[in-house]
Structure 1
């Protein structure tokens, strides 16, 4: 037998054997595709949760605090003194400034931000600086 005949026989045997052997590249492709789909779904879930948290932090205009009880005047003064001494959250400060830029009156800003009129005026006078 000649060398060319031997090479042809080896080639034919290799081609026939390739039909019966499993193709691992297809399995690998499928695994990578499943992994990318899982990654995409997890990223979308994280984005949705992050958006929900952002919406909770940035109080929407429809947000209103329900009053529990009307405090008597002495209690009301004590509450106002306590709240005026506490530092105001920076997000609320930015919200007050943005609402003022949009032209909302002070009373409306007080309702939307749940701050007292004095606190809102203080924020606006100081420009958001403590």
Structure 2
């Protein structure tokens, strides 16, 4: 019985010594996590710098290039600003058979505005 106790006690001492010299897996995991965190922080920092540069370029380009108007919205806005008297004059001249150029010249409108007025009237069906 004494030999068994001595044997178990010596085994415990050997295992205790081995545990001190064994690799600490938790420390290794902590080191890996810390390294990954640093890597991600560096990546995020680089991405923020790139986004800032792109935003600055975008702002500079907005200052250089004037906004482009959509032709369809400008035409509809032009039609709305044309006075009703001019619209009726255009329609009257069109019904008399004058060419679009002549109508535009007499009404002081562009050819596109004249066409828009006529098309708008056709859509209304009057």
TM-score (normalised: structure 1): 0.40
**Of Structure 1 and Structure 2, which has the larger fraction of its residues in helix?**
2
Q: Which has the larger radius of gyration?
A: 2
